[in-house]
Structure 1
Amino acid sequence: MPSHPDSGAPPPPSPPQAFDGKAFVASLSTAPGVYRMLAADGSVLYVGKAASLRKRVANYFSASPKPTRTMAMLAQVASMEVTVTRTEVEALLLENQLIKSLKPRYNVMLRDDKSYPFVLLTQEDWPRLAFHRGGRSIPGRYFGPYPSASTVRETLNVMHKLFRLRSCEDSVFRNRSRPCLQYQIGRCSAPCVGLVSAPDYAESVRRVALFLDGRSDELTDELNTAMERASERLDFEQAARLRDLVASIRGLQARQYVDGRVADLDVLACAMQGTSACVLLLAFRDGRNLGTRAFFPKTSGSEDPAEVLAAFVSQYYAEQPPPREIVLDRVIEDVELLQQAFSETVGRRVQIKGSVRGERAGYVDLARRNAGAALVSRLDSQSAQSLRLEALRELLELTEPPQRIECFDISHTMGEATVASCVVFGPEGAVRSQYRRYNIAGIAPGDDYAAMHQALMRRFRRAVEAGGVLPDVLLIDGGAGQVTQAREVLDELGIGSVTLVGVAKGEARRAGHEALLLPDGRELRPGPDSPGLQLVQQVRDEAHRFAITGHRGRRQKARTVSRLEDIAGIGPRRRASLLRHFGGLAGLKAAGAEQIAQVEGINAALARRIYANLHGLDAED
């Protein structure tokens, strides 16, 4: 029975009003800019750019037929926001920034990947040339990205032979008292002990940058000119060194040059099956084939290869410096705008071509075939992963296949430098961006139970306090003792939704004979043919590898960092003077405070402090 108007009952809620797109379009200007479609809960559905905001947004609300994906998105739009920009290039740059930060549901997105390998030339008094992977937090120039780590190492091998820049870490460089093996075999000029002057080393650094920038012809012309000047000065030894350097560079070009027209080029091809996509990159720099790399963008339901490829090009080269020429296996939208934006970014002309002939057409065909093969391989591995997840669900008697599996492991050497690792696996395999390591401190050396308890408490306390994600299955590499520690942590934090499983080694440590230990005391031995156990093995082995890598790095750092770095008042110059005077840290440690005070720049008080620190004493004693 309907309520009486005077009964005091609240009126029924009114249905949400549909977004009036045509009215919104009428309020827009024709200026370039970026638009954002928002859902009722405020989440961003889509971010797009426009040369004319009014014209572009009006297309969404016209009567023309639209793809199913677009219709599904428009049905969820509750509001829209726009940002007007001065130029189309600014709109493109802003669109890329917003896609990366907001992660809209319906945009095609290049997955975040911090693992691109680079050649790093550090920015310091004596720059270091080295392999780099990860975030660009170290000041310097980053050359790349390269398609593979082996390509970077091959490039570094050539660079060190030609230009003899140092590759050692700063902690080693600052504490050398005599040249290392790299100097003996002609791969370093030994700046650590002053065997090369600062101007000569800086000149080598500049030449390395020229070569890695793809300007080797300019470099050889410059070296030829310097060789002639050295000959005119009758400095025949310097002229001979420059002649040999030019010959090495020319020889390298002759071996690695692909064809006279190919110098600085990326070839991109996109393969799709349904909504799964693979974009394959074939890279050439300075005429050298650097190999291929496969990317798997998140398509958000798109089935159009041109749309996926356009989004990849826009987002990838917003983060990485584009080459002079980008060749695509199909025509994409906004080519002129992308060319203009990339050219302004790098300060030189960048061309994007979607139709080529001759040699480049062969490269496109090669990239297209490799993209198809990589996509098939990935889909097969995803299918196998789904089967193993279902087998694990049956094995552990879960209601649904686990969507997130975490595994913890402990690594140390007789209690030294204990490190705990946490690896994460999902429906598509390893989620490396969410791996974590925990440096363990404040426990008895070798106490694996306390180490596991500390690592788990740090992981799950933060999740409880901050409302973080929890795993469906938690694997613990160890026996009943480690499982007990994990159970205590979960109980203490009030976490009851996580399935806890211990992974104990089998008889004679044979793979495939592991026992799965459950908190209720049950022990499962599914055997080596079980797909569920094979998945557990894969996750456990990855946790073991990640823990060992972290432990070795922590242990090596503790052994290589000089104890002199911990002493107040000892900077790089005094440290070098001390090590040079006593022939190394061992000689310094054997000296008395009076002998240390004889080193230039070291007074008696500082000498006593150095002596005390090296021998674990109080400075007053």
Structure 2
Amino acid sequence: MSVVHSEQLLAQVAALPQLPGVYRYFDADGGVLYVGKARNLKKRVSSYFQKNHGGTRIGHMISRIARMETTVVRSEAEALLLENNLIKALNPRFNILFRDDKSYPYLKITGAADKLGADGQGAAEFPRVAYYRGAVDRKHRYFGPYPSAWAVKESIQLLQKVFRLRTCEDTVFANRTRPCLLHQIKRCSGPCVGLVSADSYQRDVADAEAFLRGDAQGVLHALESRMTEHAQRLEFEQAAQLRDQVSALSRVLHQQSVETASDKDVDILAVRVQGGKACVNLAMVRGGRHLGDRPYFPTHVEDAMAVEALDDAADAAPARPAEVQVLEAFIAQHYLNVPVPPALITSHAVDRALIDALSQQAGIRLGAVHNPREQRRIWLEMAEKNAALQLARLLAEEGSQQARTRALVEALELTPDDLDGLRIECFDVSHTAGEATQASCVVFHHHKMQNGEYRRYNIDDITPGDDYAAMRQVLTRRYGRLAEVGRDPPDASPPQAAVPQAGGEPEAAEAAATPARRFARGSTGAATRLPDLVLIDGGKGQVGMAREVFAELGLELSVIVGVKKGEGRKVGLEELVFADGRPSVYLGKDSAALMLVAQIRDEAHRFAITGMRARRARVRVGGSTLEEIPGVGAKKRARLLQRFGGIRGVAAAGVDDIATVEGISRDLAEQIYRALH
């Protein structure tokens, strides 16, 4: 069956210029299907509409194209950068997509090098070394990025051992009267109490920075020269301190196997593709030290391969291996937001135009090698091995999770439209003696937990500690709107007013007038469809409450299953309790189905506990801040915060300690203590 597109779309295709650019395909709902680049827009885009692609993956995509947008650029490099910016921003269905991870961590040394000491004596004279994650600026010096928090913290420990730089906050530094434990174990030189001069400390900072830049041998030689000079001047105490530094640095160089080759900052990229999945393993070398690696798993690999094959055919170019396509997609997307080192080592050869575009963007000369020698070869082989191991682990985990999903479907005789689409929602209630009650809802879909769909619900207007009332409230809020949609007549107009939902999160006003088992549109705090299974963390009482709510809402009772804890609350002894009258089921501690149920139940419990604790902390501390305590003005508040290093320190202090602050009487200290506790 041939696909019929609108005359407007076909006319737009016919009018395209023969220039480089980027194109985007959209479906009828405005969703982005694909983002591509082309040397010749007219030739590339026309190839999609020139023949019938049948029921293939590419045919499925083309049949859904309802609208197109194009952007003409000046060069292929511009097209490449714009394409990957749009891929990351729009999340198209048929592109290889590497999702944004958390920002990389850095090692930070406070204070700009050219402004140290500008404010006179104090914390500014003695920069601190710290772990940092976020946007970098010119106020401080940053080293990295590092592949993990562990790598940063290990580097900080090295700097403490060798150069004895401080890690304490400035407020702590300003209020110390005696050396801390770090000084006692020779991890800090004690600048807070004047045990080291500003000049000596600045030399240690400079040596630490040189070490982080990879000039470890230069630092070692400089320390040895200074030690010799002090010894010749009979300054044996200073010479002994430098001797200890030289010894510590030598041990570090030996233990860490720091390379002395010319490579200082290098990224090693290895890719492995298997079973429709892919893994790119990124290893980082910074300052000549191998800091570890991190795996990345792209999505939409198989769909993207089909579209890439069509593009290659349109350009009369040989088909590129899947590994090359995945690797180029990673390089283009990853280095849009992350500083690129001057050298890349790759497991496969990548397009030189991509490297040139990155060089132009970064403003540095970037080199890429795919057939390295000597130490680089060792690094690459290590990265390739890790990529293979990580991909094998992913495939094994996914296979195991699918087996668990299938076991649960069979054990409970569920009838989902397809196994991949099985949707489970699980609820739990958490509080501390009735205080700060919160309910959680976690979602299992596509064989994994979907944390982007988790919801927390603040539970109010109930008797403290009444878990049944809390469960009634959360289920009503979660599925009440869905029941209304299911009761709407087919031609009813959707309500126009927005309704506040789950913990104050607004719900979109529009909802599709479809049965309750179908999807409803535009919801954030309420369910978009009745799931295939609703798990309740509780036994007959909680399930009975859920049955009442669902009966009132007119929803199916058969989807409700309670997870009743076994004797001694031991994992593996749980029973499943049904709301529709079926007898309870004990699956057995070795059951794959019970393992999945326990995984989802435990995740709901974890999510509820963390939310409850955060809310309780806000109630106990955030609800009684210093600003709200009578008699504590701006000056007294500033003295308290400076003395104790922040609101947490004030809350941890006793009445006697608070009363020692200038301007705080004993009565006011007791009042502050009561307010914060």
- Does 2:340 correspond to 1:322? yes
In the other structure, the counterpart of 1:301 is 303
Letter paired with 1:118 = P
How far has the Cα of 1:238 moved from its partner?
Answer: 5.5
In the other structure, the counterpart of 1:45 is 33
The structure 1 residue matched to 2:358, chosen from 318, 326, 341, is 341
- Does 2:672 correspond to 1:613? yes
In the other structure, the counterpart of 1:544 is 605
How far has the Cα of 1:250 moved from its partner?
Answer: 4.4
SS at match of 1:318: coil
In the other structure, the counterpart of 1:529 is 590
In the other structure, the counterpart of 1:107 is 95
The 1:180/1:432 distance shift into structure 2, 3 A limit, reads farther
Letter paired with 2:293 = T
Q: How many pairs does the alignment contain?
A: 590
Name the CA distance, whole Å, in 2 between partners of 1:86 and 1:558: 57
Name the CA distance, whole Å, in 1 between partners of 2:16 and 2:187: 66
SS at match of 2:422: coil
Alignment of 1:507-518 (within 5 A): 507-518=567-578
How far has the Cα of 1:103 moved from its partner?
Answer: 0.9
Alignment of 1:46-61 (within 5 A): 46-50=34-38, 53=41, 57=45
In the other structure, the counterpart of 1:478 is 538
Letter paired with 1:251 = R
How far has the Cα of 1:396 moved from its partner?
Answer: 2.8
How far has the Cα of 1:99 moved from its partner?
Answer: 0.9
In the other structure, the counterpart of 2:6 is 17
SS at match of 1:524: coil
Name the CA distance, whole Å, in 1 between partners of 2:270 and 2:304: 16
Name the CA distance, whole Å, in 2 between partners of 1:241 and 1:478: 63
Letter paired with 1:309 = L
TM-score (norm 1): 0.76
Deviates more, 1:150-159 or 1:170-179: 170-179
The 1:51/1:231 distance shift into structure 2, 3 A limit, reads farther
Alignment of 1:222-301 (within 5 A): 241=241, 244-257=244-257, 259-261=259-261, 262-298=263-299, 299-301=301-303
Letter paired with 2:571 = A
How far has the Cα of 1:169 moved from its partner?
Answer: 7.6
How far has the Cα of 1:110 moved from its partner?
Answer: 0.7
Deviation by residue 1:561-616 (Cα, 9 ceiling, x = unmatched): 99757654157751266569xx98788624898x76xx2xx388xx9765533345
- Contact kept, 8 Å, 1:223 with 1:242, in 2: the verdict is yes
In the other structure, the counterpart of 1:575 is 640
Name the CA distance, whole Å, in 2 between partners of 1:142 and 1:415: 46
Deviation by residue 1:192-233 (Cα, 9 ceiling, x = unmatched): 788788888787677656554556567667767887998899
In the other structure, the counterpart of 1:7 is none
Name the CA distance, whole Å, in 2 between partners of 1:276 and 1:615: 57
In the other structure, the counterpart of 2:516 is none
Deviates more, 1:250-259 or 1:196-205: 196-205
- Contact kept, 8 Å, 1:118 with 1:142, in 2: the verdict is no
How far has the Cα of 1:106 moved from its partner?
Answer: 1.0
Name the CA distance, whole Å, in 2 between partners of 1:214 and 1:85: 40
How far has the Cα of 1:362 moved from its partner?
Answer: 4.1
- Contact kept, 8 Å, 1:172 with 1:560, in 2: the verdict is no
The 1:526/1:128 distance shift into structure 2, 3 A limit, reads farther
The 1:22/1:502 distance shift into structure 2, 3 A limit, reads same
Deviates more, 1:546-555 or 1:517-526: 546-555
Name the CA distance, whole Å, in 2 between partners of 1:250 and 1:212: 15
Alignment of 1:428-443 (within 5 A): 428-435=447-454
- Does 2:108 correspond to 1:121? yes
In the other structure, the counterpart of 1:393 is 409
Deviates more, 1:399-408 or 1:51-60: 51-60
Name the CA distance, whole Å, in 1 between partners of 2:210 and 2:453: 37
Deviates more, 1:457-466 or 1:526-535: 457-466
Deviation by residue 1:421-453 (Cα, 9 ceiling, x = unmatched): 444333342334444556767766655445555
- Does 2:414 correspond to 1:354? no
Runs of at least 5 residues in structure 1 that lack an aligned partner in the other structure: 1-13
- Does 2:95 correspond to 1:34? no
Name the CA distance, whole Å, in 1 between partners of 2:460 and 2:633: 24
Deviates more, 1:101-110 or 1:200-209: 200-209
The 1:603/1:271 distance shift into structure 2, 3 A limit, reads closer
Name the CA distance, whole Å, in 2 between partners of 1:443 and 1:122: 51
The 1:356/1:528 distance shift into structure 2, 3 A limit, reads same
The 1:259/1:206 distance shift into structure 2, 3 A limit, reads closer
The 1:560/1:305 distance shift into structure 2, 3 A limit, reads same
- Contact kept, 8 Å, 2:650 with 2:658, in 1: the verdict is no
